[in-house]
Amino acid sequence: MTPYLLAAALSISSTAFGAEYREITLANGRKLPAEIKNITSTEMVLATPQGTVIVSPADLKNMAPLTTEAYLGQKPWRVLVLPFSGDENTEKDRLLAHLFALRVLESIPALTAQTVDDLEQSAAEVSRSALQLCGTDISCATRHGTAVGADVVVMGQVKAGLAERILMVRSVFVATPAARKQVKVPYSDTLVRHRSEINSALYESLFLSPPDGAKIPKIPVVATAPTPRNETVVNMAASAWTPVPGYTALKQGNKIGFVSAMGAVGAGTAASVYLAGHATYSAPQLVAMTALSSYGLTVFVNHLFLD
């Protein structure tokens, strides 16, 4: 910030008796209509409809007059919360963090929080599908968030390490992608014990200060059905011995694999019959050899489709 801007800002702070509204332009390009509450040489405290914003004088690019009507007439932020990403080991924490993020955002005034599933049907289908898969990709979130009319896109990811897990919260103002912030919440116990840190992380990612004494939303209940992974693996392994070519593929919904297995076993059995026909086998021996060859190929192919 130039010395002139600092002097002007300080004069507002020291002489104004009523509310002083200004459109603040920050160094990252974001325009912030706000009421100036306090200014010192080290920080500027601003009031916005969403809450308190503290700005460093170094981040101040410009200030322009703003009428009371323009300040009070601001539309609520439209905040789009993307599905939080993670792996199968962090699924419950990922779902919990996503639901809790929605509750925190819903508690912030002048802000409308929604998920991709909440988007209007008129929103571009390509963008709706892409937003489900953006993860924490800023360019993806910015491009498709703009297409569906969002002001801010909030993303999250849960990573599991050897000693601890990390919840990463990231937000971007789509009109000015340089206005983005990422906050990490490390934890080594259960995520539900870190409501306060997650609450603060979400506020910080939006460049807001959590209000003093505000009630932190409760952690939502995440109802997930237990996944008997070991039992499933055992059952699938046993299914590989079923005398039906491609049975394991069919059980996993792999129709192409099932058809391919049927064809492979059929061709292999035909070849074995042809070769056995040239050998000196009796009729019962020929039937037995053919059956064994067909079953052996079936078991072999079924094992190929196990995880």
pLDDT tier at 123, thresholds 50, 70, 90: confident
Query: What CA–CA distance (Å, rounded) separates 112 from 99?
Result: 15
pLDDT at residue 99 tops 50: yes
* pLDDT higher than threshold 50 for residue 220: yes
Share of the chain above pLDDT 70, in %: 66
pLDDT tens-digit profile of 1-13?
Answer: 555 555 555 555 5
The answer to whether residue 227 scores a pLDDT higher than 90 is no
User: What's the mean pLDDT when you consider all of the chain?
Assistant: 83
**Higher-pLDDT residue of 218, 26:** 26
Structure tokens at 215: 């009630």
pLDDT digits (tens, 9 = 90+) for 293-303: 666 666 565 66
268-281: average pLDDT: 59
DSSP track, 224-260: -----HHHHHHHHHHHTTSSSTTHHHHHTT-HHHHHH
Query: Which domains are delineated in the chain?
Result: 3-72 (2.30.30.100), 77-205 (3.40.50.10070), 229-304 (no CATH)
- Give the helix/strand (H/E) hosting 159: strand 152-160
pLDDT digits (tens, 9 = 90+) for 11-33: 555 444 578 999 999 999 999 99
Please provide the DSSP assignment of 33-75 as one string. EEEEEEE-SS-EEEEETTEEEEE-GGGEEEEEE--HHHHHTPP
Is the predicted pLDDT of residue 248 greater than 90, yes or no? no
The stretches of the chain forming alpha helices (DSSP H) are: 3-15, 68-72, 91-106, 125-133, 138-147, 195-205, 229-239, 247-251, 255-277, 283-304
Distances (CA, A) of 262 to 114, 218, 241, 274, 295: 47, 54, 15, 18, 12
In whole angstroms, what is the distance from residue 298 CA to residue 305 CA?
11
